[in-house]
């Protein structure tokens, strides 16, 4: 079944049972629905409370409200108690400034290196933002995790003026970010299906982590495992009706913007 190839199940417990040879990044699939933020928050709490030594992705557009700081503080507490990590996903341009602000809040208030910030390298300002963040948090004596992606919102963001105009510039941006991060102590997840970018990362002494989407490019994932690397699958979960935006984006990427994510 198409949906089962890309979605890990209806809830966190289904994903826990999923038998794969890779690490798991738990990703509650709902996004852009902050009207239901209390229930979305409850499901994130359930996931963080019932897993240990795991990585969880959250989408702030599903949580945005006046209590968001309190939600994030609770995630920090739960993750620390269970030795979990939290990836704050990047989203479309109209929401990204908000996401950056709250991610920075998490990093500044966290003393356990729990949070990862996501950088979308198809944006023409992303490398500069990455450089500035590395310097800014270094001066504050704050370490933080980094997830490096190309970007998955081209259909929504293409007319913003903030994206690279061609795939070559995106690839250069991404690979230059790998080179930059190879000299920093931050924990870094190379989240890509691009074989060349992964091979470039393997050339450095720094130990990166690698992540691909469930159901996509297992050949690359297996190769990285054979090289002794830490490899993860990004596993969305939730009600099938909630997964439609995610699945629609996967279909669109496969036919129209695969060049930006592979």
3-state class (DSSP) for residue 166: coil
| pLDDT for 124 beyond 90 | yes
On the question of pLDDT at 113 being above 60, the answer is: yes
Q: Provide mean pLDDT across the span 68-75.
A: 98
Banded pLDDT at 32 (limits 50, 70, 90): confident
Residues of the domain holding 98? 2-261
151 half-sphere exposure, CB direction, 13 A CA radius: 28
The structural domain count of the chain equals: 1
Looking at every residue in the chain, the average pLDDT score rounds to: 92
**Predicted local confidence at residue 3, as pLDDT:** 61
CATH code: domain of residue 176: 3.20.20.220
pLDDT of residue 10: 92
Got the DSSP string for 199-244?
A: HHHHTSSS--EEEEETTS-HHHHHHHHHTT-EEEEEEEES-GGGGH
Nearest to 107 by CA among 140, 81, 74: 140
- Read off the pLDDT band of 18 (50, 70, 90): very high
pLDDT tier, 181 (very low <50, low <70, confident <90, very high otherwise): very high
- DSSP bridge pairs for 190: 148, 210
**pLDDT score recorded for residue 134:** 98
DSSP 97: H
Residue-level pLDDT at 250: 63
């Amino acid at each position: 079944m198409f949906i089962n190839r890309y979605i890990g199940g209806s809830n966190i417990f289904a994903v826990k049972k999923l038998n794969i040879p890779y690490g798991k990044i738990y990703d509650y699939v709902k996004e852009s629905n902050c009207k239901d933020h209390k229930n979305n928050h409850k499901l994130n709490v359930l996931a963080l409370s019932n897993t240990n030594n795991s990585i969880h992705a959250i989408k702030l557009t599903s949580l945005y409200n006046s209590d968001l700081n309190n939600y994030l503080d609770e995630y920090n507490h739960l993750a620390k108690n269970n030795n979990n990590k939290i990836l704050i996903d990047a989203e479309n341009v109209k929401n990204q400034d908000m996401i950056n602000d709250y991610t920075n809040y998490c990093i500044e208030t966290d003393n356990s290196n729990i949070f990862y910030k996501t950088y979308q390298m198809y944006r023409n300002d992303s490398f500069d933002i990455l450089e500035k963040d590395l310097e800014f948090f270094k001066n504050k004596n704050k370490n933080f995790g980094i997830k490096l992606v190309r970007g998955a919102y081209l259909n929504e963001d293409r007319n913003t003026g903030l994206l690279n105009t061609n795939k070559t510039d995106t690839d250069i941006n991404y690979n230059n970010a790998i080179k930059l991060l190879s000299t920093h102590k931050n924990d870094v997840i190379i989240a890509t299906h691009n074989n060349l970018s992964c091979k470039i990362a393997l050339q450095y002494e720094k130990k990166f982590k690698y992540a691909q989407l469930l159901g996509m490019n297992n050949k690359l994932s297996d190769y990285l495992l054979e090289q002794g690397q830490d490899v993860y699958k990004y596993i969305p979960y939730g009600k099938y009706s909630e997964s439609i935006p995610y699945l629609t984006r996967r279909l669109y990427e496969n036919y129209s913007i695969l060049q930006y994510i592979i």
